[in-house]
Amino acid sequence: MQIGNYIKILFFSLFLTFNAHAQHGEVKSEEKTSEKQEILDEIKEVKAHHLADSHDFTFVSTKEGTHIGFPLPVILWDNGLKIFSSSKFEHGEAVAEVAGNHYKIIHHKIYKTDAQGQVAEEHGHPSKAAAVLDFSITRNVVFILLVGLLMLWMFTSLAKSYAKNNGMPLGIGRFLEPVIIYVRDEIAIANIGEKHYKKYMPYLLTVFFFIWILNLLGLTPLGANVTGNIAITAGLALVTYLITTFTAKKDYWKHIFWMPGVPVPMKIALIPIELLGTIIKPFSLMIRLYANMFAGHVVLMSIVGLIFIYKSWVGGPLSFGLAFFLSILELLVAALQAYVFTMLSALYFASASEEHGDH
């Protein structure tokens, strides 16, 4: 949010000459500031709404309460499985009643409430009794499933086209094949080595295309912010961590617990550092992807918000130009972040699978 504010201030001062702001009297300018504050707050709200996961799919919503979109299924575990449509929440405004229990969305999370929508509180926070396990098909889950199915279709059709066309890819496969070969040759073989790379190829390819496609989807007006959600990047990083840990050879553990070639006191001092290092590696993977995509979305939406701040002919072209430029930059970042995630995962796998004689 900070970056957005700076950009706003910067361009506000640049284009001050175009503003009719200065011509008005003092009373009117005061009115205008409160109006401006309202618009800023509204833009902030739209941003927060876009960046967070939600229980329904809303493309357009107006101040008057019209929402264009569709509801998604809510699946709760609260002393038994409860499945109902998110339309019962009426976009977070109403209390949903299911089999005698009441639920309400408070700050994008579902809590158990009484009939009036009051949460049982403890020290100002919702108490443990109000918590429910939420397995809902939210907007992000929809996108994840969508991308999963898309990838399944893309790669099975590529595999089939090899059989049909004498080992030559057809259609979209013509585009996918060089990318797959690049991941294999430049990321997997270059880092892990000829001997062990095959074991890791399925994960590296999957994670590369998964992140890339989701990043690209985030640039469409569909409202996907999947890789900009820390829970999802945490999941991806966790898989990398688990694969690294469970495929690690003897030498990997030896380098952590009894570093060869250093004196004994140093060996002992290195154990906690190396152990911490194994956790920091996936942690940095998580933060990097999340922060990059999150920041990109925030800046892009702040630029689009310029239109509503200016309310004159300046805002439109200015916002369009900046957003266009930034979108092209984000296209690059989308591929780059997928590449970096895959590359670093491959590096961690390499350290896990390395054997004494491999150097």
Partner 1 sequence: MEGLNYIGAGLIVIGAGLGIGKIGGSAMEAIARQPEASGKIQVAMIIAAALIEGIGFAALFAA
Residues in the site for partner 1, rule: CB under 8 A? Answer: 2, 186, 190, 284, 287-288, 291-292, 295, 336, 339-340, 343-344, 347
Shortest distance, position 190 Cβ to partner 1, whole Å: 8
Shortest distance, position 351 Cβ to partner 1, whole Å: 14
As given in the structure block, the two tokens for residue 311 are: 């309310």
d(CA 326, CA 95): 40
Shortest distance, position 285 Cβ to partner 1, whole Å: 8
d(CA 66, CA 56): 14
Which of 124, 123, 86 is closest to 103 using CA atoms?
86
Shortest distance, position 76 Cβ to partner 1, whole Å: 30
Half-sphere exposure of 303 (CA within 13 A, CB side): 17
d(CA 348, CA 256): 13
Shortest distance, position 161 Cβ to partner 1, whole Å: 29
CB 82 within 8 A of CB 101: yes
Pairing assessment for the beta strands 67-71 and 73-77 based on DSSP bridges: unpaired
77 vs 182, which CB is nearer to partner 1?
182
As given in the structure block, the two tokens for residue 272 are: 């906690």
106 vs 340, which CB is nearer to partner 1?
340
Shortest distance, position 184 Cβ to partner 1, whole Å: 15
Residues 87, 91, 92, CA angle at the centre, nearest 5°? 110
CB 183 within 8 A of CB 204: yes
131 vs 340, which CB is nearer to partner 1?
340
For residue 118, give the DSSP letter. Answer: P
For residue 131, give the DSSP letter. Answer: B
For the residues of 241-259, what is the DSSP string, one character each? HHHHHHH--HHHHHHHHS-
d(CA 220, CA 22): 38
169 vs 282, which CB is nearer to partner 1?
282
Residues 205, 240, 108, CA angle at the centre, nearest 5°? 100
118 vs 284, which CB is nearer to partner 1?
284
151 vs 291, which CB is nearer to partner 1?
291
57 vs 339, which CB is nearer to partner 1?
339
Please report which helix (H) or strand (E) contains residue 355, including its range.
Answer: none
> What is the residue whose two structure tokens read 């912010």?
225
Shortest distance, position 133 Cβ to partner 1, whole Å: 27
Shortest distance, position 128 Cβ to partner 1, whole Å: 28
CB 253 within 8 A of CB 297: no
105 vs 344, which CB is nearer to partner 1?
344
2 vs 116, which CB is nearer to partner 1?
2
Shortest distance, position 359 Cβ to partner 1, whole Å: 17
